[in-house]
Structure formats: C-alpha cells, structure tokens
Structure 1
C-alpha cells in the first residue's frame, strides 16, 4: 500500500472546486477534476458545523480510511475533494465507506462490483 497523496494548498482545492464535477449524497460531497498525473490526490474538508476538533478529526480519519480501501481500484489521474456534511459526525466507518463507494461509482471512477 502506497502513501496517500493529499491536496494541501488552497489553490489546489480552489481548482478542484471551480473546475471539477460534483456529486453529493446525504453524508458527503465529492468534487473530481483531472490532474494530468499518473496518481490520484485527495483533499478532505470538514466544516466546523460538523463538530468540535475531536469530532472533525475523527471524521477525517474515517474518510481517509474509506478512501484507502478503494484507492488501488480507482482510476488514476484525478484530484478528489471530499466534503463532509454535518450528519457525518454521527456516522460510523461502515456508513462513510458505503457513501464513499456510492460517490466513486457515480463519478465513474470505480467499477460497480459485489
């Protein structure tokens, strides 16, 4: 398993927000934009409305882990930004994983498998 490559700069996030395609479900919003590289980069945004810092950091860890599960099966060459909605604070790992998979399939980055 390789190290997770993340978006760090505000300009990188802005490019994905501005030019990327978005899909949403009750827990997460995902923006996707081609990056022209042979690997994917992910950025995670959790608003203060989700909860205090302990809750926000937990949500970020759960989203990272859900992404990591599918990372090797996702098409390469994309920047992804995942935004957590306020209901995510009460969600468990399996809920977030299910919603993450749903968005990856809707963006056609992941093959639908059983």
Structure 2
C-alpha cells in the first residue's frame, strides 16, 4: 500500500469504532475517522464467526488487495476500519471489490469522478 499504513493497535481500532462514522452493506461494515495526517491507515477485522483462520485471512487479503488497487481514489488523512461480515465468507474477489467501492461511495471518501472497477470493467459514478 503505497499511500497507506495499517492500523495495528487495539486503541486505534477502538478510537475509530467509537468516534468514526459507519456504513454497511451485505458483506462489509466500514468505519471512517479523520486522522489529521497525510496518510490513510487501514485496519481489517474478521471475527471467528466468519470462519476458520484460512477463511478469515483470505477475506482480509481480498479487502487489502481491493483497497491497494484503488487506494489512489481514496481521500487522504483517514483511518479506515473494514469489518468482514459472516455472509462474506465465500464471496469472490469481484464481489469484495464492488462492496468496498460501494462503501467508499457512501462515505464520500472517493476523490475522483469516474472509477473503473478493474475486475468487472464497470464504471462506477459517485
């Protein structure tokens, strides 16, 4: 992730949960909080309800890769926590990418007018 760091400390996650704004869709919940820096920080959470370790790490990798490929379209200076829901345990990369971009649109944290979804070649407009 070129322009981003990762959230690692529990206190940082708790701060975003308590003070950030959240939106959800079928597969993900996204919390966003401004961090007053030039970089974004991304945290990913997948509880044991999602599945075993293999499934949880696969979901985290899908979220991280979707974010990495589109990180240039996100506004900077944000702490972003993505919580994977149980229903996401067997979805494809394309569905994960679409879900992440949908939540970015709801949060108004995309900084360009037209985005090409790399996996489906669809144009998403804000």
TM-score, normalised on structure 1?
0.96
The CA RMSD over aligned residues, in Å, is 1.2
The CA deviation string for residues 47-95 of structure 1, in whole angstroms up to 9 with x for no partner, is 1000000010000000000111110111000000000000111100000
Conserved? CA contact 2:3–2:71, under 8 Å: no
- Larger fraction in helix: 1
Aligned length: 114
**Larger RCO of the pair (alpha carbons < 8 Å, separation 6+):** 1
The residue that corresponds to 1:11 in the other structure is 11
The answer as to 2:67 corresponding to 1:67 is yes
Runs of 5+ in structure 2 lacking a partner? 115-122
Secondary structure of the corresponding residue to residue 5 of structure 1: strand
The CA deviation string for residues 27-57 of structure 1, in whole angstroms up to 9 with x for no partner, is 0000000000001000000010000000100
Conserved? CA contact 1:105–1:112, under 8 Å: no
State the shift of 1:17 in Å: 0.2
Report 1:22-101 matches (<5 A). Answer: 22-101=22-101
Runs of 5+ in structure 1 lacking a partner? none
